[in-house]
Structure 1
Amino acid sequence: MKKLSLLALALAFSGAALGANGTYVVDPLHSFARFEYNHWGYTSVGGRFDRTAGKVTIDTEKKLGSVDVVIDAKSVSAGSAEFNEHLQGEDYFDTKKYPSISFKSDKFNFEGDKLISVDGNLTIKGISKPVTLVLSSFMCKMHPLFRKDYCGANASAKIKRSEFNAGKYAPFVADEVMLNISLEAAKE
């Protein structure tokens, strides 16, 4: 009996993304984009964006999907109001002119039944570049508290900030930035 229960549990989790078809709305309370870079060779520093919105559509049977996520660039949080203001300036995010960052995709990459990456376009300061978000985890299942279908993913990518007209002080402050995105979304 115990072996049967463990087998059923294993099968449930191995197929957690299967049958997750539909459109999911980003949960802004549990979704964050973070960034990290080397600061003058001393340390790795970074921050996050506190407001994210958007939708993810997935069809695991056909192995198709789309992502349309918008990040409020003015919600950048790097540890102090002064540094947040600095990052919102013209040399970096220029939030007066470009208040949002977006990622749009219609290409999901599967390895068997497992979603492993998403190819799309990242737009920062009005400049769009192709970016592949590599998923370290992806799962869809019934949320135990909200009692509705949820999907969650952790994704990462490396970009060069100079490609988005935000390369001040490079290479002393690293041009390469690691993006880490944690996203939870509820089925519409």
Structure 2
Amino acid sequence: MIKPVIALSASFLFVFAAQAAPVTYQVEPSHTFVHFSYKHLGLSTQSQRFDKAQGTVTLDQEAKKGSIDMKVDTRSVSTGFPLFNEHIQGKDHFNTEQFPEATFVSKDIQFEGDKPVSAKGELTIKGITKPVTMTIESFLTMPKHPMMGKPALGADGKIEIKRSEFDMGANVPYVGDEVTIRIALEAIAP
């Protein structure tokens, strides 16, 4: 009688340990986009996006810990107008020839209950790294993605910066210095 109880206890501990382990999710590029918006001449809020993002999100929901490592291809900027894409890839703005990538790295995710609500990290644009906090506005995990058949997560995040702090202050104040970065992210576990 003791042996079955020990075996059952051992299998329970194994299952519990497997569930409590950190899970690393790969960013799903066809459903992950980084948008940015700013005021233009005080007339309107302009919004553009990057079409290519990659990275990982690692979460240990039991321990309430996690990390984010995202890269954005700044050459994939999409404004809706090819000439404007070229303009903001120039030296006064993203300077994509020298800096083809922007990154956000966080090893400090804050939780409220069982949900992440913010991530303190470092944002690097044009080779300049600044501390930022991403507010996580929505977050959801699912044990089985309906099409991929694997665990998945989704989140919407927001970061606010001043572009002049990243050597991108051309045309301030006519074009707003304050930029809101929004990340629509979906990621799949292996």
TM-score scaled by structure 2?
A: 0.87
Report the residue type matching 1:71 in the other structure. Answer: V
Distance 1:165 1:109, change over 3 A: same
Residue 129 of structure 2 is matched in structure 1 by 128
Contact 1:20 1:140 in 2 (8 A): no
Alignment deviations for residues 17-67 of structure 1 (CA, whole Å, 9 cap, x no partner) = x96940000000000000000001111112000000011111011111111
Q: Distance in 1 between matches of 2:21 and 2:163?
A: 35
Q: Distance in 1 between matches of 2:23 and 2:188?
A: 10
Q: Distance in 1 between matches of 2:81 and 2:26?
A: 30
Deviation at 1:139, TM superposition (A): 0.8
Q: Distance in 2 between matches of 1:29 and 1:99?
A: 20
Secondary structure of 2:118's aligned partner: strand
Residue 25 of structure 1 is matched in structure 2 by 26
2:170 paired residue among 139, 150, 168: 168
Distance 1:177 1:112, change over 3 A: same
1:152 aligns with 2:154: yes
1:42 aligns with 2:43: yes
Instruction: Indicate the structure (1 or 2) with the bigger Cα radius of gyration.
Output: 2
Q: Distance in 2 between matches of 1:169 and 1:99?
A: 22
Map 1:48-67 to 2 at 5 A. 48-67=49-68
Contact 1:57 1:65 in 2 (8 A): yes
Report the residue type matching 1:150 in the other structure. Answer: A
Q: Distance in 1 between matches of 2:20 and 2:149?
A: 17
Q: Distance in 2 between matches of 1:29 and 1:108?
A: 25
Unaligned runs of 5+ in 2: 1-18
Deviation at 1:113, TM superposition (A): 1.7
Give aligned pairs, total. Answer: 171
Report the residue type matching 1:26 in the other structure. Answer: V
Deviation at 1:114, TM superposition (A): 1.9
Report the residue type matching 2:149 in the other structure. Answer: R
Residue 185 of structure 2 is matched in structure 1 by 183
Q: Distance in 2 between matches of 1:52 and 1:162?
A: 23
Residue 100 of structure 2 is matched in structure 1 by 99
Identity of aligned residues (%): 47
Residue 6 of structure 2 is matched in structure 1 by none
Residue 78 of structure 2 is matched in structure 1 by 77
Of residues 137-146 and 71-80 in structure 1, the stretch that sits farther from structure 2 once superposed is 137-146
Unaligned runs of 5+ in 1: 1-17
TM-score scaled by structure 1?
A: 0.88
